[in-house]
Amino acid sequence: MTPTAWLRTCRTDLRANTGYPKSQLVLLLLRTAQALRASRRPWARAAYPPVAVLYKVVSEWVLGIELPPSTPVGPGLRLRHGVGTVVNPHATIGAGVMLRHGVTIGNRRSTHDCPVIEDEVEIGANAIVIGAVRIGARSQIAAGTVVLQDVPPDSVVHTVQQLAVRPRRLPGTPQADTSQA
């Protein structure tokens, strides 16, 4: 990554996360670690280990966001709250993607069977996307959804769960009559 490309990507990330200083810090450190890791210059290779350690301490240990520098991530990634977010290093994330807290993007069976998240996808809180699946551009994955198969572009994916509601029976009280006449 050239210094110009690094600067352009960082500006895009910062704009996409306006009002979210934690996300801005994580992405600035991520992009710096990625640029140093990809560089062939000796000074950059020497600078990578301390920057990578700083990134890991800040993002994983302090903020609870696991997004390895080896993960290909397009510009404009939006992290909303981020805590509990885990991304496999072999996953691919497109441009303008939004990840909310508790999102898991990872492999299912082997190390490399990881998701490809295309551009402008929004993934809700506590959603799980695992396996060699492709999430099409501009799709939305609702909170708490588990995705195990491909999602076409411009789709909305959600899990509908019905909850069984019954009267609560407290000790020492007669059971309510739930039969219908």
Residues 135 and 141: beta-carbon distance below 8 Å: yes
> Residue 177 pLDDT > 60, yes or no?
no
Q: What CA dihedral angle connects 7, 10, 12 and 18, to 10 degrees?
A: -140
Share of the chain above pLDDT 90, in %: 82
Helical pair 21-38 and 3-16, crossing angle rounded to 10 deg: 160
Residue 93 lies in a domain: yes
Domain at 34, CATH number: 2.160.10.10
CA distance 134 to 29: 27
Residue 179 lies in a domain: no
**Residue 34 CB-half CA count within 13 A:** 24
What pLDDT does 14 receive? 97
Residues 114 and 91: beta-carbon distance below 8 Å: yes
What pLDDT does 110 receive? 87
**Which residues are 128's β-sheet partners?**
104, 146
Number of domains the chain is built from: 1
Residue 111 lies in a domain: yes
Average pLDDT estimate for 92-102: 98
Residue 165 lies in a domain: no
Question: From the CA atom positions of the chain, what is the Rg in Å?
Answer: 21
Residue 124 lies in a domain: yes
Q: How confident is the model at residue 162 (pLDDT cuts 50, 70, 90)?
A: low
* Domain housing 46: 3-157
Residue 173 lies in a domain: no
